[in-house]
Amino acid sequence: MGLLGLGLATLVMGSEAAHYPDQPDYPDYPADRPKPEPKPEPKPEPAPAPKPEPKPEPAPAPEAAAPSGPPPSYVEAVDQIGRTSFNAGLTGIALFETCATGRNALGGERNQAFQRDCDLIIVGSVDDVAGSAAALGQLTSDQIAAQNSAAGRVAGLGVAVVQGRLERLRVADRGLGVDWERVAASRTPGGGGAASADLGFGRFGAFFSVDYATGDEDSSRFQPGYDFDRWSFLAGLDYRFTPELVAGLAVRYEDSEYDFDHHRGRMTGDAWGVLGYASYNLPNGVFVDGTLGYASTDYSLRRQINYNIGGSIASQVARSDPSADVWNVNIGAGYNWQQGPWTITPALRVNYLSNDVDGYQERMSNPTGTGGSMAMNIASNTYDSLTSDLSVQVARAISHRAGVFVPHLRLGWIHEFDNDQQQVGARFVNDINQQPLVVLTNAPDRDYMELGVGISAQFPQGRSAFLSYGTLLGYRDVTYHGISAGFRLEF
């Protein structure tokens, strides 16, 4: 029985036998007299209703647990790949920082795919450390460093061709260094000048050259190694304003191809450029010359991404089409010292190059497959280079009835003042957090040598031709071989 029911029953039983002390005793009344009606007993007061028990306050919601640290196996994978690829180690750290939040799993379809690909690499390391390490190495977009190397060589090759053109002018043109009539006469039996009697030149000159270069750069902790092949075509027109001053304009097209080691992909480039040049030659053999050039390059980069983590296989091609604008300024001075048929030319040049690479976004070949959400977004970047070139060239004029041939040897010491190691910003395209990461480029080699050998020939009626070979000496991890051939007409 409840508390309320038990209280009511007690009150009823008590009212039948209770005696209230304040109730008076009534005497017996005669039968004929009515007895007074007894006073009604007071109604018992109802028992107070029990107070409701207070409801317990709800317990505070538990705070979201902070992401725990990476699995030890993933730490091992990052450390393992970081020993050979510093950039892959940075990618591994950034990948965990964004994926540990779990926010991508709550985003759109592409964000969720990114979370799955990310979890495969991080959680999959528990059973396959080597597979996760390989995946980080494949995902890292460290091929971008080759774009700066390519741009520098593109601009440098155009400048070298024009400088060679100016050097041949100084050696071959009358009044610009060598007295060809005297040299030819000294080399012709009987002392006559028949070999050079018709070596006169007009004020205008047009030239065309073809250049081929090949080489490779070894792998480092900051970029994969690659082999390269390049063809370049340059055509120019110049005018001799005075016997001392020559100026002209050249246009250039280049086609290049870079194949990355270990099947990491390939990059091709098409470049168009224009180059203005001028040279002023004093009668005492001192000269000053300079070039100003611009080139626009369109690259096609295809990064191969292949890895296998616990049987989950990724086979992707990350496609992108970056572009770059390159400005180049070169100023030099030297002295032509002539001794008989020999000409020795010491020179000092300063070269400045600015390479502006636009930002770009990759596209995966199979977006719905494993690894298909791991495309990169690469930020724009500017590479600056300032070099000096201290060189000496030795040339000898050899007279022949067909013309005058000038073999030469050139050795230059190149010093890099700028072009420090660069940090290129990057992000994963499908990462909802847009976690930043960086890709570090190679540090430049500060000092190296250039060696060039070649021969030029001056023929009657203002015709000339040349053939030259150049290579780099002492440039760390780089092999370079270039050959150039061309001809010139004066009118």
- What residue ranges do the domains of the chain occupy? 72-139, 142-490
User: What pLDDT was estimated at residue 147?
Assistant: 74
User: What pLDDT was estimated at residue 202?
Assistant: 77
Segment 345-395, tens digit of pLDDT: 999 999 999 999 999 999 999 999 999 999 999 999 998 999 999 999 999
Lowest mean pLDDT among 17-21, 250-254, 393-397: 17-21
Split at pLDDT 50, 70, 90, the class of 57 is low
User: What pLDDT was estimated at residue 169?
Assistant: 73
- CATH homologous superfamily, domain 142-490: Autotransporter beta-domain (2.40.128.130)
Question: Is 129 in a helix, a strand, or coil?
Answer: helix
Mean pLDDT value of segment 339-348: 95
User: What pLDDT was estimated at residue 173?
Assistant: 53
Give residues with Cβ within 8 angstroms of 56, minimum separation 6: none
Split at pLDDT 50, 70, 90, the class of 314 is very high
Split at pLDDT 50, 70, 90, the class of 56 is low
Mean pLDDT value of segment 260-277: 95
Segment 422-441, tens digit of pLDDT: 899 999 999 999 999 999 99
Q: What percent of the chain has pLDDT over 70?
A: 78
Split at pLDDT 50, 70, 90, the class of 48 is low
Lowest mean pLDDT among 176-190, 330-344, 405-419: 176-190
Cα separation, 202 vs 407, whole angstroms: 24
Q: Tokens 């070979």 appear where? A: 469
User: What pLDDT was estimated at residue 293?
Assistant: 93
Mean pLDDT value of segment 108-125: 97
Split at pLDDT 50, 70, 90, the class of 253 is very high
Structure tokens at 279: 């040279």
Mean pLDDT value of segment 319-330: 94
Q: Quick one: how far is CA 115 from the chain centroid? A: 25
pTM, full prediction: 0.79
Structure tokens at 278: 């001028």
Q: Does position 403 have pLDDT exceeding 60, yes or no?
A: yes
Give residues with Cβ within 8 angstroms of 353, minimum separation 6: 151, 152, 155, 156, 326, 327, 328, 383, 384, 385, 386, 387
**Cβ–Cβ < 8 Å for 319, 302:** yes
Q: Does position 186 have pLDDT exceeding 90, yes or no?
A: no
Q: Does position 136 have pLDDT exceeding 90, yes or no?
A: yes
Split at pLDDT 50, 70, 90, the class of 42 is low
Neighbours of 9 (CB within 10 A): 10
Q: Does position 21 have pLDDT exceeding 50, yes or no?
A: no
Neighbours of 419 (CB within 10 A): 21
User: What pLDDT was estimated at residue 465?
Assistant: 95
User: What pLDDT was estimated at residue 178?
Assistant: 43
Q: Does position 35 have pLDDT exceeding 70, yes or no?
A: no
Q: Does position 82 have pLDDT exceeding 80, yes or no?
A: yes
Mean pLDDT of the chain: 83
Question: Is 17 in a helix, a strand, or coil?
Answer: helix
Q: Does position 484 have pLDDT exceeding 80, yes or no?
A: yes
